[in-house]
Amino acid sequence: MPRSGIEGQGSAEGRSRDPRGEISLLAVPLPAPAGGRIVNRRRFLKDLMTCVVSGGLFGGTLLKGVARASAIEAGKKPLYGFGVQVDKCIGCVRCVAACKNENNVPKEPFFFRTWVERYIIKQDGGTIVEAIGILPHQEAEVITEKNVLRSFNVPKLCNQCAHPPCVQVCPVGATFSTEDGVVLVNNKTCVGCRYCIQACPYGARYLHPETHTADKCTFCYHRIKKGLLPACVEVCPTQARLFGDLKSHASPLTRFKRMNKIHVLKPGLNTEPKVYYSSLDGEVR
């Protein structure tokens, strides 16, 4: 989805190369030292028992309980990933709102770290794509139920690529990959040149209008390092969004990948995304 609303915002032109050492609005804690564990085994077992005792084993809470546990499995360095069950997304955009609150994303609709695209496939074969609540319909025609062959919602976010073009083009090394598989931006060293925004093939970055530094989804790095779920996963009422450790056999993400036919976005680009989709329609770009 093109970020047409971004282009006029916060131009970096004419600004000095101010390292902005004072800016902390979007500060993300830098990765823990190698080998650092997130939460100890006692807490892992406590969370698991809470899930079982509360009846979560037989209800929807199991997925979230195990998702939390998977993120904190002791003794191994995690490799974080994300799952999207397209057929479960109802387009409520609670995830988008929760992300904005959690990460100080400006309230204007054209700034976002995650978004949800509604695809409408028409009887005549045409396709309409709109980012729900963000960019208006491009087409003036009225879509009636009779015209619609099928429609579905596709949550999107930074793919935390294993081969991230955004990292490759950053001239000052301000954006980098952590050893647990998350691409972060150091907003103390980002100079706001926008190279990474241009390089990202998924439209996942924007220039923050206050800090004038690049911003994007971090899987809520400050939360997952405490053993919490990303805010969007936490609030999703249908569990369309999943989070976990790709190295853990107990992770709901691992199970999700094993049990479903999985796709990633733009696989031909060789970016190796770590956001995995099930029930992804061939029309999705």
Q: What are the φ/ψ torsions at residue 126 (nearest 5 degrees)? A: -70, 160
116 binds ligand SF4 (CB under 6 A): yes
Q: How far is the CB of 40 from ligand SF4 (least distance, A)?
A: 30
89 binds ligand SF4 (CB under 6 A): yes
Q: How far is the CB of 22 from ligand SF4 (least distance, A)?
A: 25
Q: Residue 165 or 230: which CB sits closer to ligand SF4?
A: 165
β-bridge partners, 121 = 127, 150
Q: How far is the CB of 249 from ligand SF4 (least distance, A)?
A: 25
What distance in Å separates the CA atoms of residue 211 and residue 187, rounded to the nearest whole number?
8
Nearest to 284 by CA among 122, 187, 154: 154
Q: How far is the CB of 240 from ligand SF4 (least distance, A)?
A: 4
Q: Residue 95 or 120: which CB sits closer to ligand SF4?
A: 95
β-bridge partners, 57 = none
164 binds ligand SF4 (CB under 6 A): yes
Q: 118: part of which helix (H) or strand (E)?
A: strand 114-122
Pick from 95, 105, 134, 174: which binds ligand SF4 (CB under 6 A)?
A: 95
Nearest to 205 by CA among 193, 217, 192: 217
CB 114 within 8 A of CB 240: no
What distance in Å separates the CA atoms of residue 266 and residue 264, rounded to the nearest whole number?
7
- Going by the DSSP 8-state scheme, the letter that residue 46 receives in this structure is H
- Going by the DSSP 8-state scheme, the letter that residue 104 receives in this structure is T
CB 185 within 8 A of CB 172: no
56 binds ligand SF4 (CB under 6 A): no
Pick from 28, 154, 161, 229: which binds ligand SF4 (CB under 6 A)?
A: 161
159 binds ligand SF4 (CB under 6 A): yes
160 binds ligand SF4 (CB under 6 A): yes
Q: Residue 159 or 178: which CB sits closer to ligand SF4?
A: 159
Chain residues binding ligand SF4 by CB under 6 A are 89-95, 116, 153, 155, 158-161, 164-166, 183, 200, 202, 204-205, 216, 235-236, 238, 240-241, 271
